[in-house]
Amino acid sequence: MIKSSQVRFIQGNEACAEAAIAAGCRFFAGYPITPSTEIMEKMCKLLPSVNGHFMQMEDEIASISSVIGASWAGAKAMTATSGPGFSLMQEGIGYAAMTETPIVIVDVQRSGPSTGQATLVGQGDIMQARFGSHGDYEIIAVAPSTAQEMFDLTVDAFNLAETYRVPVIVLSDAMVGQNRERVTLRRDREIKIVDRKTPIGGEELFFGGDEIPPMPKFGDGFFVHITGSTHRADGIREETTVDVHEKLVTRLCAKIEKNKEKIVKFEEHFTEDADILVIGYGATARPSLGGVVTARERGIPAGFFRPVTIWPSPEKKLEELLEHAKTIILCECSLRGYKPEIERIAKRKAKIIHFPKIGGTVHTSTEVFNMIQRCI
Amino acid sequence: MASVSELRNKYLRNLPTRFCPGCGNGIVLGAFIRAVDELRLKPKDMLMCSGIGCSSWTISPYFHADTLHTLHGRPIAFATGAKIVNPNLKVVVFSGDGDLASIGGNHLIHGARRNMDMTVICINNFNYGMTGGQVSPTTPLNSKTTTTPLGTNEKPFDISELVVAAGASYVARWTTYHARQLTKSIKKGMENRGFSFIEVLSQCPTYYGRLNRFKDAAEILNWFKENSTMEKEAEGKIFVGEFIDR
């Protein structure tokens, strides 16, 4: 347990585990997979000292399943994975969304598809994070770009999960997760911690009524019924009634959609008068900013924009910036990545230059600068 | 002994059941409720977990406790997380042959290997009932299902033997014909501190029964009676009773 603020030279993955503990996580289940295993190892080390529980499960499906079970038993719970493990967890993410279970999933992205480049950076899970499970649902995904943010955004992820009763994905990558950097492990009173709304008693509804209903825990005598089938506000399965499904799923999506402005976070530099907007996130954030700084030094009106919440996307802010900027350079380690979303927001008002870099490496600032120069 | 209506009012949510006429789930639920009543367990302290399939609907949502109706094959994994966080919960998993022995086979053997403190009740009706009668890992050799119209040529799992080998501390098998013995085994399973597995061979007159020329549910019950034995080495018969109690 972090008693007082400490500065350490650690991996992003270790910072993530420290943050989870600080945010109140008391259950972790996982399965070894590169490049996220350090999170699991660190959680195994830290959890016993705070009376928490650690489980290495038989696979990623079991990991996310037990995390959901643990959350309903009253613990803040997390799992961490990468690549194929994240694919295996998709059904569980859909279940957590449908049953409004607050959980945190850390996806330290690696280069795919399939086993791909298991040890190297990739950003190909952007769309899977939001659309990977079947049916209509909404999740929240945040993308840290430094080891410090692996700490800060993991705390945020727990708070968002508890606030909105939704699975939250920390969409990191091999570069951010495994880089060693200086990280301030913030002490408890320096960080805001949010706990889920719990029922007081009486005839309360746990799956309807309020936009975000209170959540009971097992053993408290609420006789709660939880199901991934379409259910009424009292939790009882009623899967063939049009109204019941419509009401439930509309609310599940709306609770994120309506609160978008409260959830969304972004970072921007030199954007006010920027004609060229360089977008980078996660591993590509720093080289993108580096390229922009060089461009500014040479008098080129370039700006840097970084979505911190990938889902929901910072749509409103980006639209604002596109009033002025007419060219977007999107730097990412994927041939598809965030491109469809940026294209959707830009609505052909700006020229989008997609600048992917795949193969397990990240752009250099010089490469980004050269690309900016070519766009003048 | 409490009457059926007393038990029903005490332990069940007041909802219409959705099972086919002759389904074995009611017998298993009855045996389970009697075990809970005889053990004087408080439903408040119980967590009922189930997967996907007819068997999983037996307690979800009917049994009036905390009920967690999970994903296909995963109830043991969900239950593991809940049990670890709150060890005071009396955790019971209701599931079927497809859920436990096919899609969730990995969680079953690992739950047993860890000897996780929970009671798993497997209603084995030899086929996938909810989807209309397809072959399952426990469909007897040469039986007909909608996906083995000429009879299955794959050897079935003996789930109980599998779970014994995997490390469970209490394993018993009965059929829906043996309702009283079943109650006793469920009681023993729930009192065992560790992984208890109780397999119940059950009738699915709608699909498995119809496709394999059983006239009705009673005929399958009779078949259970005539083809089961408590003698361990009996040839050509299904062993019922306790496999292990350690």
> What is the predicted pLDDT for the residue at B79?
98
Write out pLDDT tens, residues A112-127. 999 999 999 999 999 9
ipTM: 0.97
When divided into structural domains, chain A yields a total of 2
**Residues A282 and A134 grouped into a single domain:** no
Q: Is A332 a member of any domain? A: yes
> What is the predicted pLDDT for the residue at A4?
78
Average pLDDT, chain A: 96
Q: At what angle do helices B75-85 and B105-114 cross, to 10 degrees?
A: 30
Would you say residue A2 has pLDDT above 60? Answer: no
Q: Is A210 a member of any domain? A: no
> What is the predicted pLDDT for the residue at B121?
98
Q: Which of A190, A222, A257 is the last residue of a domain?
A: A190
Q: What is the CATH number of the domain that holds A45?
A: 3.40.50.970
Distance CA A303, CA A286 (A): 13
Average pLDDT over residues B54-82: 97
Q: Establish how many alpha carbons lie within 13 A of residue B190's alpha carbon, considering only the half-sphere containing its beta carbon.
A: 29
Assess contact for B190 and B92: CB atoms under 8 A.
Answer: yes
**Residues A162 and A34 grouped into a single domain:** yes
Distance CA A26, CA A47 (A): 7
What are the chain A neighbours of B88 within 8 Å (beta carbons)? 219
The pairing of beta strand A309-311 with beta strand A140-142 = antiparallel
**Residues A271 and A184 grouped into a single domain:** no
Does the distance separating the beta carbons of B13 and A236 come in below 8 Å? yes
**Residues A13 and A137 grouped into a single domain:** yes
**Residues A70 and A168 grouped into a single domain:** yes
**Tokens for B184?**
């006793």
Distance CA A233, CA A230 (A): 10
Sole residue written with tokens 């078949």: B223
What are the chain A neighbours of B65 within 8 Å (beta carbons)? 223
Give the percent of chain B with pLDDT over 70: 100
Q: How far is A233 from chain B (nearest CA, A)?
A: 14
Residue A3's Cβ-count burial label (10 Å; 0-12, 13-18, 19+) is: exposed
Q: Which of B65, B69, B79 comes nearest A229 by C-beta?
A: B69
**Residues A185 and A300 grouped into a single domain:** no
**Residues A64 and A180 grouped into a single domain:** yes
Does the distance separating the beta carbons of A65 and B77 come in below 8 Å? yes
Q: Which of A145, A172, A190 is the last residue of a domain?
A: A190
Does the distance separating the beta carbons of A29 and B81 come in below 8 Å? yes
Assess contact for A63 and A107: CB atoms under 8 A.
Answer: no
Average pLDDT over residues B111-136: 98
Assess contact for A282 and A143: CB atoms under 8 A.
Answer: yes
Confidence of residue A5 (pLDDT cuts 50, 70, 90): confident
Does the distance separating the beta carbons of B71 and A219 come in below 8 Å? no
Q: What is the CATH number of the domain that holds A361?
A: 3.40.50.920
Residue A330, beta-bridge partner list: A279, A354
Distance CA B26, CA A33 (A): 44
Q: Which of A165, A190, A215 is the last residue of a domain?
A: A190
Which parts of A276-314 fold into alpha helices (H)? 285-297
Domain range holding A342?
267-374
Q: Which of A27, A61, A222 comes nearest B74 by C-beta?
A: A61
Residue of A nearest to B79 (CA): A69
Does the distance separating the beta carbons of B61 and A236 come in below 8 Å? yes
Q: Which of B43, B65, B86 comes nearest A74 by C-beta?
A: B86
Q: Is A248 a member of any domain? A: no
Assess contact for B206 and B20: CB atoms under 8 A.
Answer: yes
Assess contact for A308 and A142: CB atoms under 8 A.
Answer: yes
Average pLDDT over residues A338-355: 96
**Tokens for A170?**
């920390």
Q: Is A260 a member of any domain? A: no
Residue closest to B54 by CA, chosen among B106, B127, B104, B163: B127
Instruction: Flag whether residue A92 sits within 8 Å of chain B, measured between CB atoms.
Output: yes
Instruction: Flag whether residue A93 sits within 8 Å of chain B, measured between CB atoms.
Output: no
What are the chain B neighbours of A73 within 8 Å (beta carbons)? 47, 81-86, 89
Instruction: Flag whether residue B107 sits within 8 Å of chain A, measured between CB atoms.
Output: yes
Does the distance separating the beta carbons of A74 and B70 come in below 8 Å? no
Average pLDDT over residues A330-337: 98
Q: Is A195 a member of any domain? A: no
Distance CA A7, CA A314 (A): 31
Average pLDDT over residues A260-282: 98
Distance CA A303, CA A317 (A): 13
Is this model's pTM higher than 0.80 or not? yes
| Chain A residues 196-225 with CB within 8 Å of chain B | 217-219, 221-225
Residue of A nearest to B90 (CA): A219
Q: Is A159 a member of any domain? A: yes
**Residues A164 and A282 grouped into a single domain:** no
Average pLDDT over residues A148-157: 98
Distance CA B80, CA B86 (A): 10
Instruction: Flag whether residue A50 sits within 8 Å of chain B, measured between CB atoms.
Output: no
Confidence of residue A326 (pLDDT cuts 50, 70, 90): very high
Instruction: Flag whether residue B65 sits within 8 Å of chain A, measured between CB atoms.
Output: yes
Q: Which helix (H) or strand (E) holds B114?
A: helix B105-114
CA of A168: how far to CAs of A193, A312, B196, in Å?
15, 11, 35
**Residues A36 and A152 grouped into a single domain:** yes
Residue of B63, B64, B84, B108 to mutate, interface with A, max A Cβ within 10 Å = B84
**Residues A271 and A185 grouped into a single domain:** no
**Which residues in A197-214 are b (16+ Cβ under 10 Å) and which e?**
eebeeeebebbbeeebbb
Residue B242: CB atoms within 10 Å: 19
**Residues A177 and A53 grouped into a single domain:** yes
Would you say residue A280 has pLDDT above 80? Answer: yes
Q: Is A318 a member of any domain? A: yes
| Chain A residues 5-34 with CB within 8 Å of chain B | 26-27, 29
**Residues A12 and A149 grouped into a single domain:** yes
Would you say residue A3 has pLDDT above 70? Answer: no
Does the distance separating the beta carbons of A228 and B69 come in below 8 Å? yes
Does the distance separating the beta carbons of B43 and A72 come in below 8 Å? no
Q: Which of B68, B77, B88 comes nearest A219 by C-beta?
A: B88
Q: Which of A70, A224, A226 comes nearest B81 by C-beta?
A: A70
Q: Is A1 a member of any domain? A: no
3-state SS class at A149: helix
Instruction: Flag whether residue A56 sits within 8 Å of chain B, measured between CB atoms.
Output: no
φ, ψ dihedrals at B29, nearest 5°: -60, -40
Average pLDDT over residues A328-352: 96
| Chain B residues 31-50 with CB within 8 Å of chain A | 43-45, 47, 49
Instruction: Flag whether residue A104 sits within 8 Å of chain B, measured between CB atoms.
Output: no
